[in-house]
């Protein structure tokens, strides 16, 4: 598994939305939540197992043309710093990210993603 180490502050700023359960996260109208937050990027999550550091998440960045991202490394870095701990993150159709908070304030992210679409480059 490849890993990337970076300062979480380099990633875009996200509005946070923690939900009480993975079922409520799945039912969340992400577009409406972004609009309500008044933000360019929204990261929503729910604990699957808080003691194990495992969350289920969803991310939208409509200002960048992303209605919902399959797996978001930048957001994973930010939420790791926000929660102050390493995480296992399940996102999208089965992507799995693992993060680790380093002593120097940087964070590390790695994992595997599910390809959900092809984006042509100009």
Residue 2's pLDDT is: 78
Domain over 3-112 is classified CATH 3.40.50.720: no
* pLDDT value for 92: 87
Residue 94 has pLDDT above 90, yes or no: no
pTM here?
0.88
pLDDT digits (tens, 9 = 90+) for 11-40: 989 999 999 999 999 999 999 999 999 999
- Give bridge partners of residue 107 from the DSSP assignment: 6, 101
Q: What are 84's two structure tokens?
A: 């102050």
Average pLDDT value for residue range 88-104: 94
Between 48-52, 65-69, 75-79, the lowest mean confidence (pLDDT) is in: 65-69
- Beta strand residue intervals within 1-122, DSSP E: 3-6, 15-18, 42-49, 54-60, 88-91, 95-101, 107-112
Pairing outcome for strands 15-18 and 42-49 = parallel
Query: CA 57, CA 10: separation in Å to the nearest integer?
Result: 20
**Residue 1 pLDDT:** 63
Sorted by where each begins, the domain ranges of the chain are 3-112
């Amino acid at each position: 598994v490849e890993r990337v180490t970076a300062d979480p502050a380099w990633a875009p700023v996200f509005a946070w939305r923690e939900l009480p359960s993975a079922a409520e996260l799945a039912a969340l109208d992400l577009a409406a939540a972004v609009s309500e937050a008044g933000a360019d990027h929204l990261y929503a999550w729910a604990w699957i197992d808080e003691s194990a550091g495992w969350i289920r998440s969803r991310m939208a960045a409509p200002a960048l043309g992303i209605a919902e991202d399959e797996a978001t490394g930048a957001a994973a870095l930010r939420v790791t710093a926000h929660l102050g701990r390493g995480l296992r993150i399940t996102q999208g159709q089965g992507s799995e990210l693992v993060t680790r908070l380093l002593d120097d304030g940087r964070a590390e992210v790695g994992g595997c993603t599910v390809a959900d679409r092809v984006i042509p480059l100009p």
